[in-house]
Amino acid sequence: SVPLRSSDGLELGLLVIADVRDRPDFSQRDHEILFELAEVLSGKMELRMMASKAHESEVSMTESEYRFRNIANSAPVMIFYSAVDGGCAFVNQAWLGFTGRSLQEELGVGIEDMFHPDYRKAVLRTYWDAFNERAPLMVQFPMRRQDGKYRWMELRGVPRFKANGVFTGYIGCCVDVTDQRAAILDFQKQVLCTKAVAEAVGASYLILDPEGR
């Protein structure tokens, strides 16, 4: 018998030969042939183990991907993630509901079509800078809704990594901040108006926030 070992020394078992009679003439060459056969068998066993592990890993990844997409499609916010090349690999149902487009239309560079033309270059530059630096991302820009109107969106994203540290792409979400931006602009206009009136009449003025501060 001779041991069966993988290339990294892992014990795989034994190769045993048996006969119905004594073999006192079992030569050194016979031993060498037996060890050669053990190496061949070990190699085949190792390849099958690797293939089995790869299949299990692929099945596990597929199940994880399926669970993630189910959760993402149930989320009330717009979610996307990109592949390692930076192109869009997935958007959830909330995203498709906003744009009124199919998933296939959004994949790759398709999502760029929905960005306002005046802001598209700046958004993409911000995205690719963060992507290449593996850094978090935050950017605001107008995005076209399915009715043709543009809404201000705040996009936030973070890089994705496997457990072993390998970079796998980007994941992020978009939130409609149109009403928030409008409220801020209205407040700024009120402040400017109040300031102009107060300076015109030479009066002092005080501005309080909604909490009275």
Q: How far apart are the first and last CA of the chain?
A: 87
- The string of DSSP codes covering 103-129 is HHHHTBTGGGGGB-HHHHHHHHHHHHH
Residue 204 has φ and ψ, to the nearest 5°, of: -90, 155
Q: What integer pLDDT is reported at residue 59 of this predicted model?
A: 52
Burial class (CB in 10 A: 0-12, 13-18, 19+), 61: exposed
Q: What integer pLDDT is reported at residue 54 of this predicted model?
A: 61
Distance CA 124, CA 112 (A): 8
Q: What integer pLDDT is reported at residue 64 of this predicted model?
A: 66
Q: What integer pLDDT is reported at residue 57 of this predicted model?
A: 52
Q: What integer pLDDT is reported at residue 143 of this predicted model?
A: 92
Q: Mean pLDDT in runs of 10 for the chain (213 residues)?
A: 78 81 78 82 77 59 70 85 88 92 89 92 92 92 92 91 86 88 74 73 73 83
Q: What integer pLDDT is reported at residue 99 of this predicted model?
A: 92
